[in-house]
Amino acid sequence: MSKRDEYLPGPAAGAEVQKAGERWTLVIVRELRHPPEKVWQALTDPASLREWAPFDADRSLASVGPVRLSTVGTPAPQISATQVTRAEAPKLLEYRWGDNDMRWQLEPLGDGTRLTLWHNIDRGFIAMGAAGWHICLDVLERFVADEPIGRIVGGEAMKFGWPRLNDEYTKQFGL
């Protein structure tokens, strides 16, 4: 059995919702065992993104400017021509993905990194987003540890505990 076949996400944890009027933001905090420089590489390098992220990028996200992000695991790829608005290695990365603002903050934590993601998502999709990011960040953690299990996104996530996570986050967020 491969490491991928053995993967199942743990319980819903580490996420919260911030509400400002009609604007909802998913906030996820993860503590990773690797330094910010290594995590930054995984967040910005197109080859690394292909290992864990729900989209592909046509260039590195490590510098400000235009970028094309293509969703993965959807019936038809959705391509967003967008902008990286802040790239302060290895601390802060901001860009738009479709209609959503994404903000990644990396803080040193001992030998590792506290990773915080802010993702503004429509209220109707916020638990789904939390479940999806939960799995993506688990895969990211394994990739950064040099134990890659391969990207798990879209319909394939259904086989890896996504429905349970979606239910758990729905309850946690009081939706």
Domain ranges of the chain: 3-172
The amino acid that residue 71 corresponds to is T
In the chain, how many H helices and how many E strands?
A: 5, 8
| C-alpha atoms less than 13 angstroms from C-alpha of 112 in its C-beta half-sphere | 9
Distance CA 74, CA 132 (A): 13
- Burial (Cβ within 10 Å: 0-12, 13-18, ≥19) of residue 57: buried
pLDDT digits (tens, 9 = 90+) for 56-106: 999 999 999 999 999 988 777 789 999 999 999 999 999 999 889 999 999
The pLDDT of residue 78 is 85
The pLDDT of residue 17 is 96
pLDDT digits (tens, 9 = 90+) for 2-61: 889 999 999 999 999 999 888 899 999 999 999 999 999 999 999 999 999 999 999 999
Q: Are 36 and 93 contacting, i.e. CB atoms less than 8 angstroms apart?
A: no
Name beta bridge partners: 32: 113
Which run of H or of E encompasses 109?
A: strand 100-109
Confidence of residue 1 (pLDDT cuts 50, 70, 90): low
Domain 3-172 has CATH 2.60.130.10: no
Distance CA 175, CA 167 (A): 10
pTM, entire model? 0.95
Q: Are 30 and 137 contacting, i.e. CB atoms less than 8 angstroms apart?
A: yes
